[in-house]
Amino acid sequence: MAEIKQGILGPINGKVGTVVGVTWRGVNYIRAKPRKSHKKPTEKQLLQWDKMSLVSTFASKFKDFVNAHCPVVHNGEKWITGKEQMISRLMKQGVKLINGLQHITVESALLSIGNLAPAVIKKINRLKTGKFKVQWDNGLINALTLDTDSLTMMVYNEKLNEFIAIPNVGKRIDKYAHFSLPDKWVEGKIYFWSMWKAEDGSVHSTSCFHGIIELENVEEKTGNGELKAGNGEMEVEKGEEGSENGNQLPSEVIPIEQARDISLKNFLKEVDKGTEVETTSPITPPFKENKVVDQVHTMEQNPPIDSDKSSTEDKTLLSSVDASDKEKKLKKWTPPGYIRTVNKQIIKQPKDSKPTVQSDQANEGVFDGVRSILEVPNISDN
């Protein structure tokens, strides 16, 4: 049964036979009653469903902050909230396919939109106290910027999948300030944004993404020489400038591209070390099912007469095995800054499958309810 709230010409909310009345974004619609389709989804449909699930799940963590700091946009007859704008933006330019799975590119997340000029963040460091020190330059000014503008730091913990906004970190005139993360944030990859807001809250800046840091538990020395874990709640010692060098650690928030380069180099070093151990170990040779390795073992057991030539061929075969090993491991490596917050996997649909023919051609292709993307096999990179 449907309800007519504003008379016979008013909008319909509910179901009347095969007609459904709905209200979406303040606009009233009448549509045909959907029904289930027995057609299997295409790969493009699976990718789109997974993409939407990934983006909406990620954006939900930022919903309250984004809705409060991104003005509602009127698009034709529809009003689009900050979260919906964020989802739309990420769907268009914030998703990348890594190892057959779609990931959010975290630097594409825009958390606020405003007219106030931001200060240029020069450096964000973690101190021995567990606190973070942020420094900025007030080179960007306009008629709206005031010395009383306050800094808000926005931080996302990838491991815990949590987001927090830390308001009133410091005033624009200060040029540096300190802030702390929650006590339970002792490890994981942490991502940083900043936003500036007028003292009366009337205007704010567009958010800026600054980079990533790998959080580790920092220890500090107490007065009696004992070690104590830093929880980020300690007060900064008096004489900040004099004690800064003593408290500074080589722990700095770095740009995401630089973090990816460093991570890739470290990963390749680990792969090389693992390959060296495997190739020199007579007990557990790498890739036992690999025919090339079997051929190498055969040559080692029955060496040919020309030992120099054999040695050269052995090295060539081993290097090809090492290259193959590195390539396979590299395909499983996910660079930092690519986030997947859903556990679903897209599965590839068999190419020889044929859709079930429906008797009702008028409603063909209309879906009712949610179809799991786990019903069908894995999509790989093309």
pLDDT in tens, the chain (382 residues): 566 666 656 676 777 777 888 777 667 777 777 777 788 888 899 999 999 999 999 999 999 999 999 999 988 778 899 999 999 999 999 999 988 889 999 999 999 999 999 999 999 999 988 899 999 999 888 889 999 999 999 999 999 999 999 999 999 999 999 999 999 999 899 999 999 999 999 999 999 999 999 987 544 444 444 434 344 333 333 344 444 444 444 489 999 999 999 988 888 888 777 655 444 433 333 323 343 334 434 444 555 445 455 555 555 554 555 566 667 767 778 889 999 988 766 655 444 444 444 444 444 444 444 444 444 444 444 4
- The phi and psi torsions of 196 (rounded to 5 degrees) equal -110, 140
Which residues 6+ apart lie within 8 Å of 145 measured at CB?
A: 116, 117, 138, 172
**CA–CA separation, 378 vs 262, rounded Å?**
30
**CA–CA separation, 97 vs 92, rounded Å?**
13
Encoded tokens for 237: 């010692």
**CA–CA separation, 196 vs 262, rounded Å?**
30
Encoded tokens for 303: 């060496």
CB 155 within 8 A of CB 106: no
The pLDDT, as a whole number, for residue 346 is: 62
pLDDT tens track for 56-109: 999 999 999 999 999 999 887 788 999 999 999 999 999 999 888 899 999 999
Which residues 6+ apart lie within 8 Å of 311 measured at CB?
A: none
- The phi and psi torsions of 57 (rounded to 5 degrees) equal -65, -45
| HEC readout, the chain | CEEECCCCCCCEEEEECCEEEEEECCEEEEEECCCCCCCCCCHHHHHHHHHHHHHHHHHHCCHHHHHHHCCCEEECCEEECHHHHHHHHHHHHCEEEECCEEEEEHHHCCCCCCCCCCCEEEEEEEECCCCEEEEEECCCCCCCCCCCCEEEEEEEECCCCEEEEECCCCEHHHCEEEECCCCCCCCEEEEEEEEEECCCCCCECCCEEEEEEEECCCEEECCCCCEEECCCCCCCCCCHHHHHHHHEEEEECECHHHHHHHHHHHHHHHHHHHHHHHHHCCCCCCCCCCHHHHHHHHHHHCCCCCHHHHHHHHHHHHHHHHHHHHHHHHHCCCCCCEECCCCCCCCCCCCCCCCCCCCCHHHCCCCCCCCCHHHCCCCCCC
CB 374 within 8 A of CB 343: no
**CA–CA separation, 240 vs 125, rounded Å?**
14
Q: Which residue has the tokens 């800054």?
A: 337
